[in-house]
A and B are shown apart, each in its own frame.
Chain A
Amino acid sequence: DTGVSQDPRHKITKRGQNVTFRCDPISEHNRLYWYRQTLGQGPEFLTYFQNEAQLEKSRLLSDRFSAERPKGSFSTLEIQRTEQGDSAMYLCASSSQEYNEQFFGPGTRLTVL
């Protein structure tokens, strides 16, 4: 396992469409995080899973956003009825319970037209 992977790497969609992104964490990591990053800013926390349980969601996350991690391995992030303000890089990170370091995937760049 070479690290965290994300799919797709790029997504262009029209306003109002739904999109889904996938993240595969490092295999022995039980913690998984989603962040969003816009140009010139640091990543902003969206949500966090420990195994299959979603333990924390940002208050900034609207009800158009939903995330799952059904078997405690890969995770999906869905955005419904996309808006132009959703355009950003969506980053996934994973960590083990023993060590705090979070390792990031390459990200999915979303452009909403």
Chain B
Amino acid sequence: GQNIDQPTEMTATEGAIVQINCTYQTSGFNGLFWYQQHAGEAPTFLSYNVLDGLEEKGRFSSFLSRSKGYSYLLLKELQMKDSASYLCAVSGAGGGNKLTFGTGTQLKVEL
């Protein structure tokens, strides 16, 4: 089966940095995605990694190590609006282009 693990909940302080980890064990891999999802809304695309290393995009960065089956999403200068669920998803798990998601990490940003 396909297995994607991420912490269920995290809490951080406004202005701080938080790292959300994701580990995966899948048969097939075309890339790893991070999505942000606010309650009651659709997921919105944050980042995509297909090669090892760090991808930086403004306050958000994402890292991938394919040999370790590991990724993290780094959020800097946290804002209250960053409170949301962060979904790790693997493309190509089990073949094809579909995304296989983890259960999501609910991030709460406090004052």
Q: How many residues from A make CB contacts under 8 Å with B?
A: 23
Distance in angstroms from B45 CB to nearest chain A CB is: 5
Q: Which among A11-19, A62-70, A74-82, A102-110 touches the partner chain?
A: A102-110
Partner of B104, one of A31, A42, A95, A104: A42
CB pair B91–A45 under 8 Å, yes or no, is no
**For residues 72 through 109 of chain B, which have their beta carbon under 8 Å from a beta carbon of chain A?**
87, 89, 91, 96-104
Instruction: Determine whether A33 belongs to the interface, using a CB cutoff of 8 Å to chain B.
Output: yes
Which residue of chain B is the closest to A105 with respect to CB atoms?
A: B42
**Given known A100-B48, A101-B33, A101-B48, contact A45–B99 (CB-CB < 8 A):** yes
Q: Residue on B with the closest CB to A58?
A: B98
Interface size on B, residues (CB 8 A): 24
Instruction: State which residues 53-95 of A face B: CB under 8 Å.
Output: 55-56, 91, 93, 95
Write out, one digit per residue, whether chain A residues 23-36 have a CB within 8 A of any chain B CB (1) or not (0).
00000000101010
Chain B residue with Cβ nearest A55: B96
Q: Is the CB–CB distance between B89 and A42 below 8 Å?
A: yes
Other-chain contact of B42, A33, A56, A106 (Cβ < 8 Å): A106
A45 to B: closest C-beta gap in Å: 4
Distance to closest chain B CB from A96 (angstroms): 11
For A106, list chain B residues within 8 Å (CB): 41-42
Which residues in A have some Cβ–Cβ distance to B below 8 Å? 31, 33, 35, 40-45, 48, 55-56, 91, 93, 95, 100-107
Q: Told that A40-B104, A45-B100, A93-B99 touch, could you supply 14 new A-B pairs with CB distance under 8 A?
A: A42-B87, A42-B103, A43-B43, A43-B87, A43-B99, A48-B98, A55-B96, A56-B98, A100-B33, A100-B48, A101-B45, A102-B45, A104-B42, A106-B41
16 residue pairs A–B, Cβ–Cβ below 8 Å: A33-B99, A40-B103, A41-B104, A42-B89, A43-B99, A44-B101, A45-B100, A48-B96, A93-B99, A100-B50, A100-B91, A101-B48, A102-B33, A102-B99, A103-B45, A104-B43
